[in-house]
Amino acid sequence: MPRRPRKCPAGMCFHVLNRGVARVTLFEKPEDYEAFERVLAEAVARISLPIFSYCLMPNHWHFVVRPKTDQQPSEFFRWLTYTHTMRWHAHYHTEGTGHLYQGRFKTFPIESDNHLLAVLRYVERNALRASLCEQAEDWKYGSAWRMANGDAESRLILSEWPVPPPRQWRAHVNKPQAESELEAIRSSVKRGTPYSSAKWLTQSAARLQLKHTLRTRGRPRKHNYDSNGAEK
């Protein structure tokens, strides 16, 4: 079955995710994270995709972006994953052994309001949620650390958000998210649906040809009809 064409219209925000194939560990040691971040800096210099937040985890990563052109996400993440894969294999002397990533990166549209803030918070507290650090900004391999501890040059890869963050954003990030909010974001990732209000969900799903992600999963309910064609 052919892949559905990816649509990432300019000006729309997206949650972007990719994992190692078979959940292989992408980052074994600090030097692996640092090598990826060097590739990331090169990607930003080549293709100036606005990045709002990101977090690198041992076997996957998250980004929140808003492209300036329809082609930017594909160009950026294709170059990023290809270059990282080539350098990873060269470092570990595993050239020719197969894929590093599970496939194409995945994108999930986000409405640019409180839904965007919820996803930004979700991404920035990923390492904290996984008990890899005590505070989100302690995890060196993400935007929370860059904003709290990085110098002016290191923060250049991050762009200004289209919505203002709440006051005391760092403390807000370090507080647990409501379970209902977590489940809604995880459902967006699992099903590929936009994360948004109901109205924006319907509109964006139609615009991006994502109506299939809104259907109830499982086999359709069987219908029984009488001799007159009426459903029993």
* Stated pTM of the model: 0.88
Q: Which residues of the chain have pLDDT under 50?
A: 1-2, 220-221, 223, 225-232
Question: Is-contact 84 168, C-beta < 8 A?
Answer: no
Per-residue pLDDT tens over the stretch 176-203: 999 999 999 999 999 889 999 999 988 8
3-state secondary structure of 60: strand
Q: What CATH number does the domain located at 13-209 have? A: 3.30.70.1290
- Quote the pLDDT of residue 229: 41
- Quote the pLDDT of residue 95: 79
Sheet holding 106-110, edge to edge: 51-57, 60-65, 13-19, 106-110
Question: Is-contact 109 204, C-beta < 8 A?
Answer: yes
Cα–Cα distance for residue pair 63/232, rounded to 1 Å? 50
- Quote the pLDDT of residue 5: 55
- Quote the pLDDT of residue 126: 97
What would the DSSP string read from start to end of 13-59?
Answer: EEEEEEEBGGG--S-SSHHHHHHHHHHHHHHHHHS---EEEEEEETT
Cα–Cα distance for residue pair 155/158, rounded to 1 Å? 6
Cα–Cα distance for residue pair 210/110, rounded to 1 Å? 13
